[in-house]
Amino acid sequence: MICVYFFILINILIPISCSDIRLIKTINNDVVSVLFNITSKAQDTAWAYQYWDQCTLQADHNCGQMREIACINFGKPEHYATLVSPEYCKKIQKPTSYGNCKICSQDCVMTTWTRWSQCSKTCNAAVRYRTRTLVQEPVNDGKGCGSLSEIEDCKGLPECVDDHIITIYEWKINEWTSCRETKPIPLDAGCSEQIGERLRQVECVDSHGQSVSVDNCLYRLSDNSMPAEREFCHLPCDCKVSAWKPFSNCTKPCYTVGSSDTGVIRRTREITEFPRFGGDTCPHLVEEEPCDVSTLELCPEYTWHAFVWNECRLTDKSKSCGPGVSRRQVYCTRADDEERREVNEHHCTGIKPSNRLACQLNCPIDCQLGEWENWSPCTKSCGAGGVHIRTRKVLVEPQYEGSECDATMDYKECLLVNCSWWYSGTWSACFAASGVYGDCGAGTQSRSVYCKSALNDVLPNDNCTGMEKPERKQTCTIPCPGDCAVSEWSEWSTCSETCGPVGGIQMRTRVILGLSNSTAEPCISEDELHQTRVCGHWDNCRSHHWQVYPWETCVSDDFGTCGHMNGTQIRKVLCEMDSEPSIDESMCDPSLKPNVSRPCDVICPIDCRLSLWSEWTQCSASCGNGTRYRTQRIFTLNHYGGEACPHEADEDGVITMADDCADVDPCYSYSWRPNDWNECEHIGNSCGTGLQTRTVDCLRSDGKVMEIGVCLRELLEIPPDESQQCFMPCEGDCGLTEWGNFGPCQKQYICSQYVEGDYCRIRSRAFFHQEGITYDNSNDQFNLCPHISFRDFQDGEECEGPNYTYMWQEGIWRSCIPFTDKGNALCGDGRKWRTVLCLRSDGFHVPEHYCDEVSAVPASSKTCTVKCSQDCEVSDWNEWTVCSHNCGQGTKTRYRTVMQEMNRGGRLCPPLDETIVCELRSCDEFIWDVSEWNSCKAVNSDCGTGTQSRSVRCRAGEEYESECELRETRPQSSVACNLPCAGDCVLSEWSSFTPCPAVCSQDAVKTRTRTLVRQPSSNGQPCQSLEEIVPCSVEDCATKSLSVELGEWQACKAISGDCGKGTRQRTIHCIDNNGINYDLKRCGDIEAPSMEDCEVICTQDCVLGRYGDYSECSDECGMEGHMYRERDILEANTGLGRRCPKNSHSLVQTKPCNVVPCYEYKFQRGEWSSCSINLEMGCGSGLRTRSVECRRSDDALGAERDCLIALILNRDPSTVTDIEFELSSANKTQLDIHTSETCGRPCPGDCQVTNWSSFTPCINDCYGDESTSPVKVRTRAIIKTATTGGLKCPDVMQEERSCLVSEAICPLYMWHTSSWNLDTKQRAVWCQDQDGRKVTGGCIHKLKPISEMQCSNDCEDQFMQCVDGLCQCQDGFQMFFNVCIPLEGCQLDSHCPLYSHCSEDICHCNVGYIQDFYGLCKVDGAYDSSGVAYEDESNIWIWIVIGVCLLMIIVFVIFCILVFRNHRRNALMKKKTKEAEIAEREKMNVTAV
């Protein structure tokens, strides 16, 4: 086992010895071992840091801990390192050298010793003492406190000689006993009447404390009176309370299954007798117990009952539609109450459902129809009975009783079209009858004729039976060279009318191509060049049909009745033709006429429905005149002529009934009524100290005397004293007390009796008798002491009045509250208020009369105006502008201007411009209408060169010819021509050119042709070419590329009214490359819509609720007290509506309240009087007194109750639950407001202690447990122990009192020094607290300044110097592990990293090493180091450590071998011994046998 333990020990020691110790070489080439940790390495450098030291207070007075940090450079192996400059570690994050701590210890802090007292006597065996007081107790295991006093013998005094000792006698006065009953006390006696006696022992003692005959004191003190040994006193009166009143009902009238809150029952009692004269304090006056669940009923379930929403009521009554508010009744009711009676809302849990809902009373929306679409194709392609149909879309369905839609479909009969007819083609050229080409004269021409269907199918001729078949052939004439030549007829023009009784006209023309040379047969006349015919001559162009209109309101068949099918509705049914009413209804089929009436339901009237009356509320006042209320709610409003609701209902539909409360007690006030003092009672004689009493009643305002507990509860103040000491002077008692302290400097009328100025301070004194008891300045005393006057009891001295200045402090103006409501916002003339108080220059508010002498009080209210919101007002619309495009779709705009800008949240301005899509005409009207060419007119003769004309006009009109020109070059209206003479060749007119290709090539051509009409004569002009081929130009090849251009969407326009569903439009253009408009059909089918549905946001003004009730005042006094009321936003604004307030301030109104000064109440404690015993005549226990006054912050006297309440509440208000109990149990001594305490001086032989020290400041534990309550402490010290027979020392030498957290401080202790004494090279060093007291134990010892200029330890480092007694590094150096390292560069080789040396204050690498990026030296791989023997001295130490480790291992192995061998040898010896014993035993057995 020893080996095992040793092996474990070695395993622990070896890592410590070989792993954790870093060897650091100092500048003196000494090697020291330092235990530390390292950070992450960068190359071969790292920050080394030691372990944290103990948590202590630091120089900044915070609780923390420190550790030392240095930059090191590693060697090989890494257990070796050297200190280097911090610049080598600047690339590594430096660890912190300071850490925060939560808890620090604090040693006991005491004042320094006082000076030694004088020796107790002037001869030998005398002692002297010195004391100190406690400043702060130790916390968190800090060093404890020592003795508070030290006593030592006085040395070098002469021996005492008894012959010269004069015996001194004095009265030894002991403390009074407790008050004892001396005679039976009547049962009905009040506290003030319970008089007893108290005793004290009075004896005469000598200077050794031995009791002697009283005659010695009477003789020695030249006084024939002995201090009283008994006196009257009040027996302690314990607090008396009334009997417990019966338990109240359970705070919860019922219980809920599974709930732990069963409520409590409570009983109370009142104080009937206040504790006096040291009696026991009052017990608690309230007692609570959990309710007995078995006596409670199961709680009914309550629920919020919400009725259906009433109809929407408009916010603006002047309008017929728009925003409004819908209301419903919401109240709390029992879930099992079928009648749904209302109960108090506190029964219901959860969020109360809303009883208001913003709504919209929609404006009527009329039906809006689109334009009629084109007529559809005939329902029959041929034959009779077919109709054309056209429709129009319903753009907006009628809503909210808007106008119904008109007809959306229209019909008309089709023109009669045969299902088959004879089709005749065009006539062929005229062929000579001779059959020889080129002959002239009679001939024939033919055309194709066949039966054709409506679908262009060829039918058998049988299908056209009954119709006259056109001729297939006809005769014709081929003009001879001398005949007149005319052209063929042109095609028939379009029919001017498509229907009607008259029909329309079609026209065709032909022209003269060549003149005749015969006067006998001239050319045809002008009339023969034109032909007309009638077309479209049918009478049934239009059709008649029945059109229905919306149903009217249902009317009761029997007046006053209602119900199902008890009424009739009618509607209009008219015979119309193309949406126009017809005069003659016979034009429509009577059998198809729709019904004009139908039965309907008549809605019955609905009466107003009311709830039952709720229960009466509690009375509004607990006493005096009060009011109770009950409510009734409107469930359903009247409709359709039903019985109306009561007009007393408010806007929420609540009817309130008020009634005066009955059986309510009157309101009373209470006061203390002290009765007259009884006569002074004495013990044994008729003069001297006595006691007088009086009774104090609790008086109600009606004169009735109540129990004392009633006034205690109502007034919260202690009753006046019921007894006081009195003194009837005996003859010769003319003593006066010492003057009291001067009172505060005040301006008083009595000052004129003592000083000339207005301000004085008064002090007073009174008669006293030998024991120091004061008494009234009775006339008997003045008679016995005629040399004393009233002026001897009061004195005054002039003082400089306080340099106070007074001014009126004016608060901020609160909200302007208008006198009346205007709409849903409050605006108009009103009044606003502010707080005005008198402010004294020290920051306290004082009564107003102080400022009245300075200036008049500023106004606390004034009239004001809340400006109403101003809506934007605009002018009427101007006229529409001209449509932006002459054809196709364009836009036109109209404008209006702002007449009044919006202001203060009014309605925004509507759009100032409106744009719509317009269309003046189709772009197809911008084309040229060109007639056929007229006959050529020769200029100078009947034939030859001439001109040919035709009519050319812009279809849209002459003013738009420029528009037609943009789309097509204006055709020629006249051209030069040649009218062939008789015998000349006559050719037809040229045909149109064939089209050119889309992309022109160099050989692209266009061709036109003409035909031979008349052969020339032999001497006539021959025929020209019948074909013309012309190269295509660029213009011919360039085809117009048309594209669709979409315009921007216009603003949404409501279909009906100003908002709601609407439509918006945009323009669609068909344009060419130059942006010229064309008819949309030229661009083919266009999928993009020109109109779409949209929504116009309705204008909704912000709807605000009414202001609620004012809140309670925010403060009881001062400048900031205010109450407020607020309102909610019922509905936010939308569109152009009046805006809601942007901040919550606009929803709140405030008014000042409790406009009175805030006073602070504090006790003002006077100086203690001298002790009541005459210290020259006696020793022992006496009494001393002081004045304790309650002062208000304006220096006025306050009631003790106010200061006492302030003192109690300021300590910890959260612990005060019963102020009455707190007042009755207040300990004045603990509160330091007691007015008397024992005093005196010790008699010979008694233990002597110092007086109590002053209380320390209120000190908190700033470096430990935060829950520790702050305390203040006072102490006293023993300066002489008691001798035989003397009074023993008291046990309590230290007293603690809790204090306010707000007053607590963290004590501050700092070292202070005096100036150096250059002769002694010393200075004084002491610790001082924040109050300037010299203390011990408070300051941080390691921060203590030196007191001698000589350094305590030698500064061995050559870069160290002794500064003020401390070793410090020189400038440019920093201390690490007591070694000075340069911050930059080097001074010695030891300042450099490994494998480098210092030269010219710079570290250079040794031979064979080079410097890397980090400034460290690394082996140079290119250097041959075979001839260089360089080894760092540190290797020796490394091998020494390794050798020591190996040696320990070897020793351990040898030790184990020796132990093992010894153990084996012992085992063998035991085995041999046992074998020998066995052999001997066997031998003995054999012998026995």
Q: Which residues contact 1347 (CB under 8 A, 6 or more apart)?
A: 1322, 1323, 1324, 1325, 1365
Q: How far apart are CA 1252 and CA 1295, in angstroms?
A: 9
Q: How far apart are CA 800 and CA 328, in angstroms?
A: 73
Q: Which segment, 471-480, 517-526, 815-824, 1343-1352, is predicted with the most confidence on average?
A: 471-480
Q: Which residues contact 1272 (CB under 8 A, 6 or more apart)?
A: 1255, 1256, 1257, 1258, 1259, 1296, 1297, 1299
Higher local confidence (pLDDT), 870 or 1260: 870
Q: How far apart are CA 108 and CA 550, in angstroms?
A: 104
What digits encode the pLDDT tens for the residues 237-283?
Answer: 888 888 888 888 888 878 887 777 788 888 888 877 777 777 777 77
Measure Cα distances from 1295 to 137, 1232, 1305 in Å. 12, 13, 19
- Does 895 score more than 90 pLDDT? yes
Please give the mean pLDDT across all residues of the chain: 77
Band (pLDDT 50/70/90 cuts) for residue 894 is very high
Q: Are 1177 and 225 in contact (CB under 8 A)?
A: no
Phi, psi of 314 (to 5 degrees): -70, 140
Q: Are 1148 and 1107 in contact (CB under 8 A)?
A: no
Least confident among 83-87, 476-480, 1067-1071: 83-87
- Looking at the DSSP bridge assignments, the partners of residue 1064 are 1092
- Helical packing angle, 1434-1488 and 2-15, nearest 10°: 170
pLDDT at residue number 15: 37
Higher local confidence (pLDDT), 793 or 1274: 1274
- Does 408 score more than 60 pLDDT? yes
pLDDT at residue number 1061: 77
Least confident among 479-488, 576-585, 1406-1415: 576-585
What digits encode the pLDDT tens for the residues 193-225?
Answer: 788 888 888 888 887 777 888 887 876 655 556
Q: How far apart are CA 137 and CA 146, in angstroms?
A: 11
pLDDT at residue number 1452: 81
Q: Which residues contact 1303 (CB under 8 A, 6 or more apart)?
A: 1258, 1270
Q: Which amino acid is at 611?
A: S
Nearest to 415 by CA among 390, 388, 455, 445: 388
What digits encode the pLDDT tens for the residues 546-595?
Answer: 777 777 778 887 766 787 778 888 877 777 765 566 556 666 777 778 88
Q: How far apart are CA 1469 and CA 1476, in angstroms?
A: 11
Q: What is the DSSP track for 1035-1064?
A: HHH-PPPPEEEE-PPPPPEESSSSSEEEEE
Q: Are 542 and 579 in contact (CB under 8 A)?
A: no
pLDDT at residue number 909: 92
Q: What percent of the chain has pLDDT over 90?
A: 4
Q: How far apart are CA 400 and CA 1056, in angstroms?
A: 11
pLDDT at residue number 774: 47
Q: Which segment, 53-62, 108-117, 176-185, 763-772, is predicted with the most confidence on average?
A: 108-117
Site of tokens 């009775």: 778
Q: How far apart are CA 1420 and CA 1425, in angstroms?
A: 9
Q: What is the DSSP track for 1265-1300?
A: -TTSPPEEEEE--EEE---TTSPPPPS--EEEEE--
- Does 12 score more than 60 pLDDT? no
Q: Which residues contact 1429 (CB under 8 A, 6 or more apart)?
A: none
- The H or E element spanning position 655 is strand 654-660
Q: Are 575 and 583 in contact (CB under 8 A)?
A: no
Higher local confidence (pLDDT), 1429 or 1083: 1083
Band (pLDDT 50/70/90 cuts) for residue 878 is very high
What digits encode the pLDDT tens for the residues 115-128?
Answer: 888 887 778 778 88
- Does 11 score more than 60 pLDDT? no
Site of tokens 């909210």: 400
Measure Cα distances from 57 to 63, 142, 361, 548, 1330 in Å. 5, 12, 76, 102, 16
Measure Cα distances from 904 to 670, 869, 1122, 1138, 1142 in Å. 55, 5, 26, 9, 11
Grouping H, G, I as helix, E, B as strand and the rest as coil, residue 721 is coil
Least confident among 444-453, 560-569, 917-926: 560-569
Q: How far apart are CA 1060 and CA 1094, in angstroms?
A: 9
pLDDT at residue number 1434: 42
Grouping H, G, I as helix, E, B as strand and the rest as coil, residue 130 is strand
What digits encode the pLDDT tens for the residues 989-1025?
Answer: 888 888 887 777 778 888 988 888 888 888 888 888 8
Cα–chain center distance at 548: 63
Mean pLDDT throughout 654-671? Answer: 84
Q: Which segment, 195-209, 945-959, 1464-1478, is predicted with the most confidence on average?
A: 945-959
Mean pLDDT throughout 1399-1415? Answer: 80
Band (pLDDT 50/70/90 cuts) for residue 835 is very high
Please enumerate, as own/partner, the contacts of 1034-1040 that have beta carbons within 8 Å and a separation of 24 or more. Answer: 1034/1000, 1036/996, 1036/1000, 1036/1006, 1037/996, 1037/997, 1037/998, 1037/999, 1037/1000, 1037/1004, 1039/998, 1040/1072, 1040/1073
Q: What is the DSSP track for 1177-1197?
A: TEEEEEEEE--EEEEETTS-B
- The H or E element spanning position 1487 is helix 1434-1488
Instruction: Quote the pTM value.
Output: 0.50
What is the CB-side half-sphere exposure of residue 38 using CA atoms within 13 A?
A: 22
pLDDT at residue number 1481: 54
pLDDT at residue number 577: 66
Band (pLDDT 50/70/90 cuts) for residue 692 is confident
Please enumerate, as own/partner, the contacts of 219-227 that have beta carbons within 8 Å and a separation of 24 or more. Answer: 220/168, 220/169, 220/170, 221/169, 221/170, 221/171, 221/1177, 223/770, 223/1177, 225/770, 226/171, 226/202, 227/171, 227/173, 227/202, 227/770, 227/771, 227/1173, 227/1178
Higher local confidence (pLDDT), 523 or 660: 660
Measure Cα distances from 783 to 656, 726, 732, 780, 793 in Å. 78, 18, 10, 5, 16
pLDDT at residue number 1488: 39
Q: How far apart are CA 205 and CA 1178, in angstroms?
A: 9
- Does 837 score more than 90 pLDDT? yes
pLDDT at residue number 1164: 81
Q: Are 671 and 678 in contact (CB under 8 A)?
A: no
The pair of three-digit structure tokens given for residue 521, joined into one six-digit string: 């047969």
Q: Are 1320 and 1274 in contact (CB under 8 A)?
A: no
Strand pairing of 944-949 and 928-930? unpaired
| Burial label, 980 (beta-carbon count in 10 A; 0-12, 13-18, 19+) | buried
What digits encode the pLDDT tens for the residues 1339-1397?
Answer: 888 778 888 777 755 666 778 877 766 777 888 888 776 778 888 888 888 788 877 88
Cα–chain center distance at 1204: 40
